[in-house]
Structure 1
Amino acid sequence: MEHFLSSMPKAELHMHLEGSLEPELMFELAQRNGIELPWDTVDQVRAAYNFGNLQDFLDLYYQGAGVLQTEQDFYDLTWAYLKQCETQNVIHTEPFFDPQTHTARGIDIGTVISGIDRALLHGREQLGISSRLILSFLRHLSEEDAFRTLEQALPYRDKFVAVGLDSSEAGNPPAKFQRVFEKARHEGFLTVAHAGEEGPPEYVWQALDLLKVSRIDHGVRASEDPALIERLAREQIPLTVCPLSNVRLRVFRSLDQHNILQLLEQGLKVTVNSDDPAYFGGYMGENFIEMSRQLPLTRDQAVQLSHNAFEAAFVSDDEKAAMLRRLDDFVTGYGNAGA
């Protein structure tokens, strides 16, 4: 089963590039840029990753992101993630990036986008990994700040396909960003939003009705609202679920308590993703493998989760069909994909 899961073609739709910053690269970039870190060793950084909640994680996340200074830094960060994708048979990815985390430190948004885009281009050319980039607004900041960020990014509009909403969910409802999302849609961008992770089901409703999102990032607390579950199933709104992340941030006490398979069996278009893999104990492969160890995950369910991700990708119908054929060919070639 674990070989099957590792070998299966996958798409990742919920991954923050800044959250893929491994301690080794953090130290390398800090040394390159003359930045002093509050830790002396890689092991000390990994020990700091034993955070208790989302805010503890975010504090560490933003501190780590401070080592990212130049276009080459953003290239190296993105390239390191793509090399992980290559080893885990992730053939398509749609990573997030948080420009405000960097512009607030005086880093030009063009520096950020150019470094990421160059790596994604090389990923397509050298690794055969297709990609689409998503710009995320930080919801603990104001909508006015998000508007400024969108305006700063418009000269690079051909480099990203959607806008998203992340950071501290509690107390920062999607309604706070209704107008900037309307502006983004008017500019031709798709929309997604984190909702229903630490926030209530009401935030999922707001993301759907006010932000007009194409996908809900997380969404696991939708299970608390039967009417919402029925709508998500009926409209086949994709949920980009992050199992290991949900456990590390105490959304669930343990992975065997996670509701991802329940949501899948209720007919929702659920997908598996790694969120912030350097901080949460695993990339796509580890998420699937840990699910197989701690949940009654069958091969059929694993294939359906991967199928859902390709269907939910922001790509053309032809690209989508080609990816789904790769998955089908893999399953056929592997033999019986039953439980």
Structure 2
Amino acid sequence: MTLSIQTLSEQLPKAELHMHLEGSLEPELMFALARRNGVDLPYDNEDELRQAYQFGGLQEFLDLYYAGMSVLLTEQDFYDLTWSYLEHCRQDNVTHTEVFFDPQAHLERNVSFDVQFNGIYRALCDGRDRLGISFRLIMSFLRHLSEASAFEALELAMPYLDRIDGVGLDSSEKGHPPEKFERIFKRCRDLGLRITAHAGEEGPPEYVWQAIDGLQIDRIDHGNRALEDAALTALIAERGLTLTVCPLSNYRLCVIDDMKKHPLLTMMDKGLHVTINSDDPAYFGGYVNDNFRAIIENLPIQPEQVYQLARNSFEGSWLDAPDKHRALGKVDEVWQRFQSGSLNA
């Protein structure tokens, strides 16, 4: 049965709604870009770098994450980073992706907004045209920086907003509540951008409340700790807010200490609209199918729930209604073949 569920999870079309492009920077590409750009890395080789991927929490990861970005300097670097991720999408049958990028982290290194954006967007368009992977692009604000810095980044993004679909909020959660950014998110809503935010990963349930009430989010990134508040959990279920859950990330960042304790099935049992995502796959041990595999191997998940997770990913996406309908139809086709026993192993 486990093999059958795994086969189902691999063959189902899926959307990914929570993936940081900078977090898909694999060690091999990092070293290749370092050589191309003459950047010295504090590691001798890829294996030594991978050994550093033992994190005691979110901040330890972020320190390495931001250091790794030092190799991203040219438009071609951002193109290559994005294209490498899209090739993983093709392998995992991810047919739609909604990716984050962190412009402030690059602006601080004197890499201009246009260099970042043009490389990323060109690769996403090529992925759509050559690989059939649709996309939405999300500009994230870094919560450990100031509100003023967020407004500066938004001003630089203004000429590109016709190609940016939404804004997010990421980086260090502890000590940086969503309410710190209410004014910038109001401005983004007024500009017609969709809204999402990391909340309830390491931060308390109160941060999820603030994201819902203050930022007026369209969906919640992570949201694990919302389960600690029954009223909050009920509200999320009632509103049908999508949670972009990242199992391997939760484990590698010590949000959970055992994958067998992951709250995914509890979330589903409580009527929450959960999706499976990879977050920062180069650092956390895998892409979308790897996250499905981890859940299947460690939780008593049923085929119907795997099917529902795939449907949730498209239902929670920012695809237009006709595209969403077509994508869900393809999910249903695979599910029907699975039920009839005609799904190839």
TM-score by length of 2: 0.97
Q: Is the 8 A contact 1:113 1:159 kept in 2?
A: no
Letter in 2 for 1:140: H
Q: Could you tell me how far apart the structure 2 residues matched to 1:32 and 1:232 are?
A: 47
1:83 equivalent to 2:76? Answer no
Stretches of structure 2 that go unaligned for 5 or more consecutive residues are none
1:232 equivalent to 2:236? Answer yes
Structure 1 counterpart of 2:32, from 20, 28, 34: 28
Q: Could you tell me how far apart the structure 2 residues matched to 1:3 and 1:25 are?
A: 29
Q: What residue in structure 2 maps to residue 173 of structure 1?
A: 177
Identity of aligned residues (%): 55
Cα distance, 1:185 vs structure 2:
0.6
1:284 equivalent to 2:256? Answer no
Cα distance, 1:222 vs structure 2:
0.4
Q: Deviation digits for residues 242-291 of structure 1, max 9, x if unmatched? A: 00100101110011001011101110101110000000001000000110
Q: Deviation digits for residues 101-158 of structure 1, max 9, x if unmatched? A: 1000000001101100000000000000000000000000001100000110011112
Q: Could you tell me how far apart the structure 2 residues matched to 1:29 and 1:325 are?
A: 40
Q: Deviation digits for residues 191-229 of structure 1, max 9, x if unmatched? A: 100000000000000000010100000001001000001
Q: Could you tell me how far apart the structure 1 residues matched to 2:114 and 2:301 are?
A: 43
Q: Alignment partner of 1:27: what SS?
A: helix
Q: Alignment partner of 1:168: what SS?
A: coil
Q: Is the 8 A contact 1:22 1:278 kept in 2?
A: yes
Q: What residue in structure 2 maps to residue 148 of structure 1?
A: 152
Q: What residue in structure 2 maps to residue 17 of structure 1?
A: 21
Letter in 1 for 2:289: G
Q: What residue in structure 2 maps to residue 205 of structure 1?
A: 209
Q: Deviation digits for residues 146-202 of structure 1, max 9, x if unmatched? A: 000011001111221000000000000000000000001111101100000000000
Letter in 2 for 1:200: P
Moved over 4 A (4+): none
Structure 1 counterpart of 2:114, from 110, 116, 129: 110
CA-based RMSD of the aligned residues comes to: 0.8
Stretches of structure 1 that go unaligned for 5 or more consecutive residues are none
Q: What residue in structure 2 maps to residue 59 of structure 1?
A: 63
Letter in 1 for 2:228: E
Letter in 2 for 1:279: Y
Letter in 1 for 2:237: A
1:263-302 alignment, distance < 5 Å: 263-302=267-306
Letter in 2 for 1:194: H
Q: Could you tell me how far apart the structure 2 residues matched to 1:155 and 1:135 are?
A: 13
Q: Alignment partner of 1:106: what SS?
A: coil
1:329 equivalent to 2:333? Answer yes
Cα distance, 1:336 vs structure 2:
4.7
Q: What residue in structure 2 maps to residue 316 of structure 1?
A: 320
Higher RCO structure (Cα 8 Å, ≥6 apart): 2
Q: Is the 8 A contact 1:175 1:211 kept in 2?
A: yes
Q: Deviation digits for residues 8-52 of structure 1, max 9, x if unmatched? A: 111000000000000000000000000000001100000011121
Q: What residue in structure 2 maps to residue 248 of structure 1?
A: 252
Structure 1 stretch displaced more, 2-11 or 144-153: 2-11
